[in-house]
Amino acid sequence: MKKLLLVLLMIVFMANSVWASPINKTLISETQLDDDPTSVTGTYNVQDYEKVAFFVEYDETEVGNSISIAITLDYSYDNTNFVTGYFYDLAGGTTLQTSETLSSDGWYYLWLSPDWQITYVRVTITATNSDADDLATVTAYLIGLK
C-alpha cells in the first residue's frame, strides 16, 4: 500500500511540473533619467497572464540635488482610456498603493492582484530633481505567469 501511495504521489508531482507554466521575464526599460528625459513610460498587454509583477532597480548618482523616482501604474481595457492603477508591494503588504517613491539605491517589487481583470498596464517612472549630473538609472522588468 505504501508503494502504491508513493507511486501515485510521484505521478502527481511529475504531472504538475509538466503542466506548470513558465514565468516570463520581460525587460521594460533600461533608462538613465536626467534633465531630459525625466520620465519613462511603457504600456504592456497583460491579459494572458495569471499573475503579474514588476521589479524596478534604482541606482542614483547625486552631485547636488536630492533625487528620487516615483513609480505609478495606469490600467486600460482598450489601450486608449486609462485610469489610475493600484498595486501591492512588500512594504505595504495588503495595503493598496497608487504610487511609490524611491530615494535610495535598491530593488523595488510590486504586483497586481490575480483576481483583477486587467488588459493593459502602463508603467510610469518619473525622476524628481534630476539634471545633467544628478542621474537616476532605472531598470524595470515585467514578471508574469501564464
Number of domains in the chain: 1
Domain region containing 113:
21-145
The residue-averaged pLDDT of 12-38 equals 72
User: Which tens digits make up the pLDDT trace of 42-100?
Assistant: 899 999 899 999 999 999 998 888 899 999 999 999 999 999 999 999 877 788 999 99
In a domain, 43, yes or no: yes
In a domain, 127, yes or no: yes
In a domain, 40, yes or no: yes
Name the residue with higher pLDDT: 7 or 28. Answer: 28
In a domain, 34, yes or no: yes
Given pLDDT bands bounded at 50, 70 and 90, which one contains residue 16? Answer: very low
| SS3 per-residue string spanning the chain | CHHHHHHHHHHHHHHHHHHCCCEEEEEEEEEEECCCCCEEEEEEECCCCCEEEEEEEEEEECCCCCCEEEEEEEEECCCCCEEECCEEECCCCCCCECEEEECCCEEEEEECCCCCCCCEEEEEEEEECCCCCCEEEEEEEEEEEC
Question: For a pLDDT cut of 90, what percent of the chain falls above it?
Answer: 53
